[in-house]
A and B are shown apart, each in its own frame.
Chain A
Amino acid sequence: MDIIQIPSVWALAILLVFGALWVAFGWWLGKKNNSLDDFMLAGRNVGFAFATATAMATWITSNTTLVAPQLTYQFGIWGMVGYSMAALGLILFAPLATRIKSLMPNGYTCGDFIRQRYGRFAWYVFLIVSMFYAFGWLVSLGMAGGILLSALSGIDYYIGMSAILLICVLYTLLGGLRAVIATDFIQTIIILLGVLWIAYVCLQDVGLEKIYSSVSHESPELLNLLFPAAIMFLFNNIFFGIGEIFHSNVWWSRAFAFKKDVGKKSFLLSGLLWFPIPIVTGFIALSAPALNIYPPTADMIGPLVAAKLLGEIGAIFVFVVVFSALASSLDSLLAATSDLLTKDIYKGLINKKASKQQLLRVSKITIVSLGIVTWILCLPRVTTLGELLNFTGAFVASTIWPIVFGLYQRRLNGLYAGLAMLIGTSLGLVGYFTIGFYVAALISCLFSLIICLIGIWLKNANFQWENLNESNKKQAGEM
C-alpha cells in the first residue's frame, strides 16, 4: 500500500505560509531583545506557561510522532510504553533545574557548570560528548525533514531539508530563545490537536476492541508483556532519555532562562503531559492490521494509518504535525548549540576577554554557521534518523552520573567525572556494536556510575558550591 501524498504545490504552500509566519513572529519577538541575556536566555524571565510548553514541544520531535508508532509496530505494548518512559527525563530534570538555577543564577550553559565544577579534563570530554550529540541530533532532524516531507508530499528531499533548516535558522536568528519558546507553544498545540484528531478518528472508525482482537490474531507477540527485546528497549530508552536531557544545553539553557521557582513545576508538568503522547501515537500503529495496512517499511506506519483513516486531509494534517514537531526541536537545538559554541568554545578557548556585544554577534554568526554545516552534512543522506540517534545513546548516558553527582555531591572530582564519561561511552559503544542498539545507553550509564562511585570512595574533592556562583558573578561582571 502506498502512502497518500499531498500535491507538491500544497506542500510548498504550507511550508511558505508556516515559514513566513514563524519568521515574522521571530522578527517581532526579536525587537524586545536588547542584550545577550535577552537573546540567549529570553531575559531569564520565562513564565510557567511558556516554560511548560517549550519543554514539552522540544521533547516532541519527529521521533515522537513517527518512531513511536514504528516501535509500537515492532515491539508492541512495551514499544509505546518504553517510548513514553522518556518522559522520566523531563520529570527527573525538574529538581535539577531548580538546583541549577540556585547554584548558577548567572550561568549560561551546561559547559559552564562542568568546567567550573570539574575542571578542564572533564570539560573537554563533556564538550566532545555534547557536540557529538548536538550534531547527531541536528543532522538527524535535518535529514528527517527532507525524508519525511518528501515521503508525505513528493517534494524533493533537498527542498524539504533546505526549507526546514532555512526557516528555523531565520526565526532563531531574528528572535533568539524568545522566538524559539513562543513558536514552541504554538507548535505544541498544533501537534497535540493533530495527534488527538487522528486518534479520535481511529477510535471511531476502528475501535479498541477490534484493534486488540486483530493484533492478538495476527501479531500476538505485540501484546506479550514478556517480550525480551522490548523489555530491554524499555530500560535502555529510560536511560537514553535521561542522558539526553541531563547533559544537553537545550535543557540547561531553559533551566537558566526560566523564572526562579518555575523550573521545577514546569519540567514536572511537561513530563506528565508528554507521557501519554507516544502511547497515543503508538496505539494508532496497532490499528494497522485491522485496517489491512502492511507497510513496506515500519517507519512509515504512522502516516499510512493516518492517511487511510483521514484520506488527503489526513495527509495534510500529518504533514503540518511533522513539520511542527521537526521545527520545535530544530530551533531549540540551533539556539542551545550556538550558546554552547559561543560561550564554551569562543569565550572559553578563543577569546576569553570577549565582551557581551561581541558574544551576541558571535552567537548570531554561529546560528547561521550551524545551519550551513548541518545543511552540508545532510546532503549525502547517509543514515536514518533512528540509527543515528541510537548511536548517540552510548555518549549521552555516560553523562548522567557526573551531572547528578556534580550537582549534589561534593566528593566527586574532575578526573573521575571525565573518566566516567570516557569509559562509559567507550563500553556503551562496544555494547552497541556487539549486542545491539537497545543496550548501548544501559551499559554506558552502568559503567559511568561504577567509575563515579569509585571516584567518590577514593578521593574527596570537597567542592564548595559557592564557587559556582562566585565564578559566574565574576564572568558576568567581566562581560
Chain B
Amino acid sequence: MSISITWFELLINVALGIAVLAPIVLITLVIIDLKKEQLW
C-alpha cells in the first residue's frame, strides 16, 4: 500500500509550513524576551 500523491503533498506542505514558522517564532520570542529583559 503506497502513500497517495494527495497525502504525500499534504505531509510535505505541512512540514514546510511549520519549518517556515520556526525561525519566525524563534526570532519573535527573542525580541519579546529582549524587550522584557528576560533573555537570561
Contacts and interface: CB of A to CB of B under 8 A. Distances in A.
Contacts of A220: 2
Contacts, number: 106
B9 A50 contact: no
A203 B1 CA distance: 25
Given A49-B26, A189-B27, A192-B22, A283 B15 contact: yes
Nearest to B38: A47
A273 B18 contact: yes
B1 A199 contact: no
B33 A224 contact: no
Contacts of B27: 189
Interface string A261-292: 00000000100110111011001000000000
Interface in B4-34: 5, 8-9, 11-23, 25-27, 29-30, 32-34
A265 to B, nearest CB: 10
Interface string A178-205: 1000000100110011011001000100
Contact of A50 (B13, B18, B20, B30): B30
Residue of B2, B23, B29, B30 most packed against chain A (CB within 10 A): B2
B23 to A, nearest CB: 5
A225 interface: yes
Interface string A72-103: 00000100010010000000000000000000
A196 B15 CA distance: 11
B29 A48 contact: yes
Contacts of A225: 1-3
Given A47-B40, A208-B9, A208-B12, A77 B30 contact: no
Interface size band for B:
20 to 34
Contact of B25 (A42, A43, A269): A269
A33 B25 CA distance: 28
Nearest to A203: B16
A259 B36 CA distance: 14
Contacts of B23: 188-189, 192-193, 196
Given A47-B33, A53-B29, 9 more contacts: A43-B40, A47-B40, A50-B30, A53-B30, A192-B19, A208-B5, A224-B1, A276-B19, A277-B19
Interface of A: 32, 42-43, 45-50, 52-53, 56, 77, 81, 84, 178, 185, 188-189, 192-193, 195-196, 199, 203, 208-209, 212, 216, 220, 223-226, 259, 269, 272-273, 275-277, 279-280, 283
Interface of B: 1-3, 5, 8-9, 11-23, 25-27, 29-30, 32-34, 38-40
8 contacts: A32-B40, A48-B33, A178-B40, A208-B8, A225-B2, A273-B18, A277-B22, A283-B12
